[in-house]
């Protein structure tokens, strides 16, 4: 099992709208493309005065991750959908990918809480 954690440093004043776009548009679209979203939201603290957010996804293996991301980010639905609104609010982002167990992934899964 592969866990991907993305952190986003957001443009000033965009935290609330970014969270709404993630919740209402991007995450449902990711799920429609078969990508397992475990959790997402805004950081509880601002780093250097910048609002930050996160997205946690799970994949069975690295090959599936690469294929699903290529399909999703290459799709017309993403490109003509929420892409510009999401990207325009991101100052920078960082991705960490690690291997873990299904049990560990399930313990991070807050999808029913969102």
Domains, the chain, with CATH or none? 2-108 (3.30.70.100)
pLDDT category, 49, cuts 50, 70, 90?
confident
Please report, rounded to a whole number, the percentage of residues in the chain having pLDDT higher than 90: 79
CA distance 108 to 75: 28
Distance, C-alpha 33 to centroid of its chain = 13
- Tell me the Cα Rg of the chain: 14
- Kindly report the pTM of this predicted structure: 0.90
pLDDT category, 102, cuts 50, 70, 90?
confident
Residue 34 makes CB contacts below 8 A (sequence gap 6+) with: 68
Residue 102 makes CB contacts below 8 A (sequence gap 6+) with: 1
Cα–Cα nearest to 58, from 85, 31, 82: 31
């Amino acid at each position: 099992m592969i866990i991907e954690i993305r952190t986003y440093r957001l443009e000033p004043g965009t935290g609330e709208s970014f969270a709404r776009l993630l919740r209402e548009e991007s995450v449902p679209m990711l799920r429609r493309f078969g990508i397992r979203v475990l959790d997402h939201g805004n950081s509880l603290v601002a780093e250097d005065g910048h609002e930050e957010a996160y997205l946690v996804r799970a994949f069975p293996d690295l090959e599936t991750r690469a294929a699903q991301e290529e399909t999703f980010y290459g799709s017309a639905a993403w490109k003509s959908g929420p892409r510009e609104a999401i990207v325009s609010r991101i100052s920078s982002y960082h991705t960490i990918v690690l291997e873990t167990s299904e049990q560990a992934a399930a313990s991070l899964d807050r999808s029913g809480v969102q």
